[in-house]
Structure 1
Amino acid sequence: MTAAAVATALYTLGAQAQTYTIDPSSVPIATRDGWCTTQKQSCPLLCTQISSSSTTSSNDCYPDSLTYSCVCGNGMSPNVTEFSQTLPYFICTEYGNQCVTACNGDTNCQSNCRSQHPCGAQNPVRVNTSTSSVMPSTTSGGASNTQVYNGLGGAATTTAASGKKSDAQSALDIGRSYGLAVVFAGLFSGFALVM
């Protein structure tokens, strides 16, 4: 297999990086075209998670080589590996499918194909903003802090009395706000293709 015939997707999960490769020709071109269409539809939605706009400066996908580009209008690229309905996710799941097939019925091997090669977000933030509530302020060492509970598993975010959020917290809030929209857009796209 030549280097030109191999597609590579880099998955960054924290400081850990995993590379999944498949031969593009091992997947029917119609399937690869569908993956690219969905990737290009997802890019603007994902840009809303790192900027206030869904504009993109680059949004391309190449089914022949299974490569893509997703750069938002602000010059930043979203981590598309953390989402389904993106090309890296499709490559990863196909990698798992091909691994299972190569196991020739060995159930331990098949299980390892899935468990040792996870796709998408590994530690997603579970958010249900409709049930968010603010608990009363508590005092710790003379400083007043507010704990915000999202209603899921007791997860809390503590903010200082000034009410200002850190950049990281603001980014998480944007992700929480638009994450569900991305899921519904993917489902809607799937249903539209079926119809």
Structure 2
Amino acid sequence: MIASNLFAVAVIGFASLSAAQSTNGVGVGNQTVVPSSVDVNERNNWCIAQKNTCTTLCSKDWTTNDCDINTLKASCICADGSEPDLVPYRNTLPYFVCTEYIAQCVSKNATMPALQSICRNTNTCGSLDPNDFVPTTTLSTSTGAATTSTAPANGGTNPAASTTDAAPAATSPNAAGTLEPSSVGLLHVVSLFAAFAITGFGMAL
């Protein structure tokens, strides 16, 4: 009885190992499927989505944007020469291949739930939404604009301080202009009193 149980455990272990090995290295982007095992219309839809995602990840500026439905190979090169990593994103060829690989693995082990679990748990497909992609150049431009707007325009001097310092100088001429007429008026009044005094003194004589 014990021997039979051990044999059953060994068989299950061997089957699990075989299923794990069938995941082509078990890693993100490592899955493959036979192109002919997928309906041609489905593959065509995959490539349409792949090209759309490439356009998004290249900010609508690319030099190469190819997807072959016969080989399930894709190439995405942006105008600046960079090649976006497609694997982390949904709606890319690696994503579709990954999900199809899991589906086929589960289907082939329909009577063995333990192996189906291995199919699902040992494969990770992309989960990021391409529409959430933010180009690095956009971030750099925004940061540069913010820095420029806060930098002093006169090489380090605070413009507000310069305006405040200049205010007294601007009012000094006005103050002098206000004092000058009153001084002249005072002299004029004194002169008039002196003239009346002389005239009155002459009449008295």
Q: Which amino acid aligns with 2:105?
A: C
1: CA distance between counterparts of 2:80 and 2:57? 13
- TM superposition shift of 1:108: 1.6
Match of 2:53 in 1: 42
Cα distance, 1:73–1:173 mapped onto 2, change above 3 Å: closer
For the Cα contact (< 8 Å) 2:29–2:94, is it kept in 1? Answer: no
Q: Higher Cα Rg: structure 1 or 2?
A: 2
1:79 aligns with 2:85: yes
- TM superposition shift of 1:19: 1.6
Cα distance, 1:27–1:41 mapped onto 2, change above 3 Å: same
2: CA distance between counterparts of 1:34 and 1:58? 19
TM-score, normalised on structure 1? 0.51
Q: Which amino acid aligns with 1:32?
A: R
Cα distance, 1:115–1:73 mapped onto 2, change above 3 Å: same
Cα distance, 1:31–1:88 mapped onto 2, change above 3 Å: same
Q: Which amino acid aligns with 2:50?
A: Q
Cα shift readout 1:49-89 (whole Å, capped 9, x = no counterpart): xxxxx200000110011011100111101111110000110
> Which secondary structure state, in structure 2, belongs to the residue aligned with residue 21 of structure 1?
coil
Could you list the runs of 5+ residues in structure 1 that have no partner in the other structure?
1-9, 49-53, 129-169, 175-195
Could you list the runs of 5+ residues in structure 2 that have no partner in the other structure?
1-23, 140-205
Name which of 29, 33, 36 aligns with 1:25. 36
TM-score, normalised on structure 2? 0.49
Cα distance, 1:109–1:59 mapped onto 2, change above 3 Å: same
Name which of 37, 44, 64 aligns with 2:70. 64
> Which secondary structure state, in structure 2, belongs to the residue aligned with residue 81 of structure 1?
coil
2: CA distance between counterparts of 1:112 and 1:27? 22
Cα shift readout 1:2-32 (whole Å, capped 9, x = no counterpart): xxxxxxxx99xxxx76521110000000000
Name which of 110, 115, 125 aligns with 1:109. 115
Q: Which has the higher strand share?
A: 1
**Superposed counterparts of 1:95-106, under 5 Å:** 95-106=101-112
2: CA distance between counterparts of 1:46 and 1:111? 33
**Superposed counterparts of 1:153-168, under 5 Å:** none
- TM superposition shift of 1:105: 2.6
Q: Which has the higher helix share?
A: 2
Give % identity. Answer: 37
> Which secondary structure state, in structure 2, belongs to the residue aligned with residue 71 of structure 1?
strand
- TM superposition shift of 1:110: 1.1
Q: Which amino acid aligns with 1:95?
A: Y
1: CA distance between counterparts of 2:29 and 2:89? 15
